[in-house]
Amino acid sequence: MADYYVGEKEYFPKITKIKYEGPKSDNPLAFKYYDAEKKVGKKKMKDHLRFAIAYWHSFCADGTDPFGSATHAHPWIADAKTPMEAAGHKMDAAFEFITKLGAEFYCFHDRDMAPEGASPFESEKNLFAMVARAKKLQKAAGVKLLWGTSNLFSHPRYMNGAATNPEFGVVALAAAQVKAAIDATIELGGLGYTFWGGREGYMSLINTDLKKEKDHLACFLSIACDYARKQGFKGTFYIEPKPMEPTKHQYDFDTETVIGFLRHYGLDKDFRLNIEANHAELAGHEFAHELETAAAAGLFGSVDANRGDAQNGWDTDQFPNSYYETALAMYAILKAGGFTTGGLNFDAKIRRNSIDPADLFIAHIGGMDAFAAGLEIAQRIINDGRIPGFVKKRYVSFNTGNGAKFDKGELSLEQLAKIGFDAGYGKTGITSGKQEYLENILNQYLLGL
Ligand code: XLS
Ligand code: NI
Ligand code: NI
């Protein structure tokens, strides 16, 4: 029996199950580092990494860019007579791809899975017809839903925002969409539901009531959450920060901004962060910075695994390939205790000119290998102990005596200042940060794969 799903028609006939062949393999369609069952620390690789495939990039995006038309001729669309038939074929292709690759999860937007109809009712009907099919395929293929979401940015009605739209009528239409997408996520056993506010921001302050829009966004999120809980949803809500694109400024600018927003509006009990590497870069942060910031607030949730381009200022959504970056990301994730409901969702697309059917596999294999290697390096950092040990030692003066009192918030400024006056200048503060030493250790792990 094949260990992958194939529907009525096989869409990737030249490709079978992708296997682990090890770092010396020259087979482009084999894993070099990702060995699903291999134990790293206490868990198997697959349980640490929880890979998810992004429905939109992998099965919907067709290579269109602002300067040119589609370059990816998807066979699952070409052979269909109606949009709903195309959606069905696309779903078959998706589950074939996901299972041949050996990923356990996927993520989708409502409109990736089913086309919009002529009314909100028809759109919901389309979605639920596809959800019924997805439910069967998930079961047959052993694939789970990491999170669902709603596309509140593509349709022209959302050009001024969805939850933050200045017209109430649009906010209500966004609610109709989100309600159906939450129902779909619950029906499919989704572990999470994501809000990425692509158009929840502004193009110019001159036509915007910023406070009103932020209040509306919070209100929308809060009633969406109430609804889902009432329907029995036990999963996690995620906010995915991004500073800009498509709007000039998005309210979910970066992790720190979202943490402040969630706490201000009392949403931090239900919401966690879904952190995307490329968005971190656009906000002027390292990927690991965003992960550590979320973890420090106890709000780390999930990851959109991709990479940007240092020379470009937009969301290029390329597949992750820097072991340095994945190692530091996995180190941050392991320190945060690993994933619970979250995982690594490849919010990444192949390039416009990558037109061989195998390219989609090769891209994901590279991304999975990059995170598997990153995981191994991160575990090595922890096992070897030199880097975490150094950091621990750096703060040792807060472990006892007055340092410990300050750490617990037990000293007033007068008491603290008196300690300073009494101690005098002496040699305090003249200790090396040893950054280069630590960076060299990291490189040693990276090359010692
Ligand atoms: C776009 C976002 C989007 C979300 C899901 O930049 O990354 O793909 O992940 O709506
Ligand atoms: Ni994303
Ligand atoms: Ni993105």
Q: Is 111 in the pocket of ligand 1 (CB under 6 A)?
A: no
Query: Phi/psi class of residue 149: alpha, beta or left (left: φ > 0; alpha: ψ in -120 to 50)?
Result: beta
Q: Name residue 145's amino acid.
A: L
Question: Residue 319 in contact with residue 333, Cβ under 8 Å?
Answer: no
Distance 153 CA to ligand 1 centre (A): 10
Q: In the prediction, which pLDDT does 262 show?
A: 98
Give residue for tokens 């030199």: 386
Q: In the prediction, which pLDDT does 79 show?
A: 77
Distance 242 CA to ligand 2 centre (A): 9
Active site residues: 109, 112
Alpha carbon of 199 to those of 20, 172, 342: distances in Å? 41, 16, 24
Q: In the prediction, which pLDDT does 78 show?
A: 82
Distance 313 CA to ligand 3 centre (A): 12
Distance 208 CA to ligand 3 centre (A): 24
Q: Rounded to whole angstroms, how far apart are CA atoms 98 and 15?
A: 12
Residue nearest to atom 4 of ligand 1 (CA): 196
Q: Grade residue 427 by pLDDT with cuts at 50, 70 and 90.
A: confident
Q: Tell me the two tokens of residue 324.
A: 């340095």
Cβ-proximal residues to 197 (8 Å cutoff; 6+ apart), any chain: 152, 162, 163, 164, 217, 239, 242, 250, 251, 252
Q: Rounded to whole angstroms, how far apart are CA atoms 194 and 273?
A: 9
| Residue to substitute in 59, 200, 240, 282 for testing ligand 1 pocket (most ligand atoms within 8 angstroms of CB) | 240
Residue nearest to atom 7 of ligand 1 (CA): 347
Cβ-proximal residues to 449 (8 Å cutoff; 6+ apart), any chain: 23, 33, 323, 373, 376, 377
Q: Of the bound ligands, which one is closest to the alpha carbon of residue 198?
A: 1
Q: Of the bound ligands, which one is closest to the alpha carbon of residue 307?
A: 3
The model scores a pTM over 0.75? yes
Question: Residue 110 in contact with residue 57, Cβ under 8 Å?
Answer: no
Domain ranges of the chain: 19-384, 401-447
Residue 108 has pLDDT above 80, yes or no: yes
Sign of CA dihedral 144, 146, 148, 154: negative
Q: pLDDT tens digits, residue range 354-377?
A: 999 999 999 999 999 999 999 999
Q: Is 196 in the pocket of ligand 1 (CB under 6 A)?
A: yes
The CATH superfamily of 19-384 is Divalent-metal-dependent TIM barrel enzymes (3.20.20.150)
The mean pLDDT value of the chain amounts to 97
| Residue to substitute in 196, 238, 275, 344 for testing ligand 1 pocket (most ligand atoms within 8 angstroms of CB) | 196
Residue nearest to atom 8 of ligand 1 (CA): 347
Question: Residue 216 in contact with residue 171, Cβ under 8 Å?
Answer: yes
Please report which helix (H) or strand (E) contains residue 363, including its range: helix 357-384
Q: pLDDT tens digits, residue range 213-249?
A: 999 999 999 999 999 999 999 999 999 999 999 999 9
Q: Grade residue 1 by pLDDT with cuts at 50, 70 and 90.
A: low
Q: Grade residue 10 by pLDDT with cuts at 50, 70 and 90.
A: very high
Residue 449 has pLDDT above 80, yes or no: no
| Residue to substitute in 111, 146, 242 for testing ligand 1 pocket (most ligand atoms within 8 angstroms of CB) | 242
Q: Is 149 in the pocket of ligand 1 (CB under 6 A)?
A: yes
Q: Tell me the two tokens of residue 191.
A: 């572990």
Alpha carbon of 73 to those of 87, 100, 168, 357, 439: distances in Å? 15, 20, 39, 10, 45
Give the nearest ligand 1 atom to 306 CA.
Answer: 7
Q: In the prediction, which pLDDT does 2 show?
A: 76
Strand 144-149 and strand 192-195: pairing? parallel
Distance 414 CA to ligand 3 centre (A): 48
Question: What are the backbone dihedrals phi and psi of residue 344, each rounded to the nearest 5 degrees, phi first?
Answer: -105, 105
Distance 240 CA to ligand 2 centre (A): 7
Q: pLDDT tens digits, residue range 308-350?
A: 999 998 999 999 999 999 999 999 999 999 999 999 999 999 9
